[in-house]
Amino acid sequence: MGDIIKYILDMGAAVFLPIVMILIALGVKMKFKKAVVCGLTLGIAFTGMNVVLGFMFQSISPAATAFVNSTGIKLTTIDVGWAPVAAIAWAWPYALIIFPIQIGINVVMLALGWTNCLNVDMWNVWGKILTATLVAAITGSIVLAFIAAAIQVVLELKNADIVQKSVADLSKIHNITCPHVMNLEGVVLAPISKLLDQIPGVNKINLDSDKLKEKIGIFGENSVMGFIVGVLIAGIGQCSLKVILQTGVEIATALVLFPLVANLFLESLGPIAEAAGDYMKKRYKGREFCIGIDWSVMGGRSELWVTSILLVPVELILAIVLAKFGINSVLPLAAIINVAATVPALIITGGNIFKMFIMGVITTPIYLIVSSEFAPVLTNLAEVQHTLTIPQGQLLTYYGIEGPEFRWILTHAANVINGEFWGIGLLICFMGLFFWYVKFMKKKDIQMELKEQKD
C-alpha cells in the first residue's frame, strides 16, 4: 500500500492534485465532464507554472554564478533546490506515516470547528516529512519527529484560516486558501510590516503593479520591468552584451507568461471551490469552508516575480558578505528565485513591492544562515540513504527552505532531549508572536473589507 501511495505522489503535483480535485468535484456533485476538465486544467496550470519558473531560473542562473565567481569567494554548500531535498525526505523510513497524521488532524480540527480549511494539497506533505526527518536526525527520536510534524500540521491549518481572505483577494478565487509552511513566515514579517508603517514617508509608499503602471507608465509594464531587471542582473554578473540582452528578453517573457498561466488556476479551481463551498454549507449551516491548495494560485501576481528577481543580487551579495563572517557557506542557486520569502510577503503586504523588497532584504540572511546550518544534516542523510551523490568536500542544502525560522526553532526545541532547553524558550516566543500575528491579520482583513465597501 505504501509503495502505491509513494508511486502516485512521485508523479508530482501536476498529476496527483488534479486526481484529488476531480474526486472532490465529483463528491460535491459537480458534473463529470466539468470535473474532469477542471482537473486537467489544474494539471496544465501546475505544469505551465513550473515550466515558466524553470525557464526564468535558467535565464538568471548563469549571471548569478558569474557574479559569485568574479568575487573569488568559494561557497562550499550547493543549493540543490526543493526536489532533491524532497527525495531525501521521502527516503525517511517512516515518511508515509505522516499522511494519516496530517489527514487525521485535519478531520478532527474540521469536526471540532478549529479550522475551516480542507487541505487537499497532499503532495506538499513532504514539507512535514522534511521537518520530521530533520528532527529525527538531530534528536535521534522518532516520537519527537512525529510530534514536530503534528505541530506543523496544526499551525499550517490555523494559518490557512488566517490568510484565507488575503489569498482569495490576491488569487481572485473564492473559497480557497494556502496551508503551506512557507506562510508561517508571516509571523516574522507582520512585525516588520508594523514597524515600516511607523516610519514617516515609508508608510506612504504603496507600490503594487497597477500603481507602478500609473506612476511610471510603460516602465511599469511586466514586459519592460522584466527586461530592465534581467539586463541589470546580467550586467551585475559582468556578462557579455549578447547575454545581457538575452537575459533581459527571457525575464520579460517569464513575467508576461506568469499571469497567463495563473488564469488557468482561476479556471480550474474557481468552479470546484465554489461547488465544494456550497456543498459544505448545506450540511454545516453557519460554517464557512475553504479548500487548501498550493501557493501557485497566487502566481499571477507580477509583484511576486518582480520582487523575487530584484532580490537576486541582494541574495548573492549577502551570501558573500556573510561568508566572510563565517556564518554562511551557501551559494543560492536552484532556489535563487526564492518564492518561500516573497509569497508570504505578498500576503502580508497585499502586493506592496516596496515593502516586499525590504522584507526580503531583512529575511535573506535568515535563509542563508538556516540553510547553512541544516547543510551537514541534509548531506549526511543523502549519503546514508544513497539518495544523492555529493562531490568530496562539498555540502548540499535547500536555500529556499520554507519557514526557516519555524523549522529552525522547532528542531532546536525538539532537541531538548539533548539538553537544548533554550529551544523551548524560542518556541514559546514564536507562539506568543503567532497570537499577535493573528490579531494583525484580523485587523488587515477588516481594513480590506472597509476598502472593498468604499470601492
Nearest to 85 by CA among 329, 410, 404: 404
pLDDT single digits (tens) 32-53: 888 888 888 888 877 887 787 6
Can you name the residues that pair with 331 across neighbouring β-strands? 78
pLDDT for residue 71: 67
pLDDT for residue 289: 83
Which range among 325-339, 369-383, 398-412, 415-429 shows the weakest confidence by mean pLDDT? 325-339
Is residue 79 within 8 Å of 399, Cβ to Cβ? yes
pLDDT single digits (tens) 270-295: 787 777 777 776 777 777 788 888 88
Is residue 351 within 8 Å of 303, Cβ to Cβ? yes
pLDDT for residue 30: 84
**Residue type at position 367:** Y
How far is 46 from 297, CA to CA, in rounded Å?
A: 9
pLDDT for residue 442: 93
Is residue 292 within 8 Å of 120, Cβ to Cβ? yes
285 SS3 class:
coil
pLDDT for residue 251: 79
pLDDT for residue 213: 58
Q: How confident is the model at residue 366 (pLDDT cuts 50, 70, 90)?
A: very high
pLDDT at 229 over 60: yes
Q: Which of 55-64, 111-120, 300-309 shows the highest mean pLDDT? A: 111-120
pLDDT at 218 over 60: no
Backbone angles phi, psi at 78, to 5 degrees: -95, 130
Between 8 and 350, residue with greater pLDDT: 350
CA trace torsion 204, 208, 212, 215 (10° rounding): -30
> How confident is the prediction for the chain on average, in pLDDT?
84
Is residue 42 within 8 Å of 262, Cβ to Cβ? no
pLDDT single digits (tens) 76-85: 888 888 878 8
pLDDT at 10 over 70: no
Furthest-apart CA atoms within the chain: distance in Å: 64
pLDDT for residue 162: 95
Can you name the residues that pair with 239 across neighbouring β-strands? none
pLDDT for residue 274: 74
Is residue 368 within 8 Å of 223, Cβ to Cβ? no
Query: In this structure, what C-alpha cell is assigned to residue 243?
Result: 547575454
Taking each continuous run of H as one helix and of E as one strand, the counts in the chain are 16, 6
pLDDT at 75 over 70: yes
Between 44 and 188, residue with greater pLDDT: 188
Nearest to 216 by CA among 203, 226, 225, 206: 225
Question: CB count, 10 Å around CB of 436?
Answer: 13
pLDDT single digits (tens) 430-441: 999 999 999 999
pLDDT for residue 205: 79
pLDDT for residue 59: 74
Q: How confident is the model at residue 6 (pLDDT cuts 50, 70, 90)?
A: low
pLDDT at 236 over 80: no
Q: Which of 110-119, 359-368, 387-396, 442-451 shows the highest mean pLDDT? A: 359-368
How far is 88 from 132, CA to CA, in rounded Å?
A: 12
Domain definitions of the chain by residue range:
2-50+64-454
pLDDT at 21 over 80: no
Is residue 352 within 8 Å of 207, Cβ to Cβ? yes
Q: Percentage of residues in the chain with pLDDT exceeding 70? A: 89
pLDDT for residue 390: 72
Between 122 and 104, residue with greater pLDDT: 104
pLDDT for residue 212: 60
pLDDT for residue 209: 65
Q: Over range 417-440, report the average pLDDT.
A: 93
Q: How confident is the model at residue 27 (pLDDT cuts 50, 70, 90)?
A: confident
32 SS3 class:
helix
pLDDT for residue 9: 60
How far is 167 from 445, CA to CA, in rounded Å?
A: 11
pLDDT at 163 over 70: yes
Q: What is the DSSP letter of 177?
A: E
Query: In this structure, what C-alpha cell is assigned to residue 272?
Result: 470546484
336 SS3 class:
coil
Q: Percentage of residues in the chain with pLDDT exceeding 90? A: 34
Q: Over range 235-256, report the average pLDDT.
A: 81
